[in-house]
Amino acid sequence: MHTKHFLEIREDMRRELQKCLQDQVPCPESSQ
């Protein structure tokens, strides 16, 4: 199912965002 893929991608993005926050580093997506 495509929904599974979508959820997976969203989880990955969320994980990356959390990592950036934990690392306290300027994220490229934070600029948006």
pLDDT of residue 18: 83
pLDDT of residue 31: 52
Q: How do residues 5-31 score in pLDDT, each as one tens digit?
A: 778 888 888 888 888 677 766 666 655
pLDDT of residue 4: 67
Domain ranges of the chain: 1-32
pLDDT of residue 29: 66
Record the tokens describing residue 15, joined without a space.
């994980």
DSSP 25: -
DSSP 24: T
pLDDT of residue 25: 66
Record the tokens describing residue 29, joined without a space.
């997506």
Question: What's CA 2's distance to the chain center, in Å?
Answer: 18
